[in-house]
Amino acid sequence: MDLFRFLIRAFVYLLCFVLSWYAMSAVNYEKLLKKDHVVQAQILYYLLIAALAYLSGSFIIAFIYRAL
């Protein structure tokens, strides 16, 4: 049973990561960033994707476990 829960959680987080990556591609955030700060902008982009994926994944997992 623990392996099953682990696989569900891993799948949900991976799916949320991919969907967050896809959703963030629609945001034009270049106007908010300073010039010549490419590395910092990429780090911020990846951190935002990871945070969004974690939050949405945690919400979905909590919703799934409460429904069961």
pLDDT at 56 over 70: yes
pLDDT tens-digit profile of 10-54?
999 999 999 999 999 998 887 888 888 889 989 999 999 999 999
Backbone φ and ψ for 46, nearest 5 degrees, come out as: -70, -35
User: What's the CA gap between 56 and 62, in Å, rounded?
Assistant: 10
Cα 30 from Cα 23, distance rounded (Å): 16
Q: What is the pLDDT of residue 1?
A: 67
Structure tokens at 40: 């910092």
Domain boundaries, the chain: 2-67
Q: Using an 8 Å Cβ cutoff, are 21 and 52 in contact? A: no
Q: Token pair for residue 31?
A: 């106007």
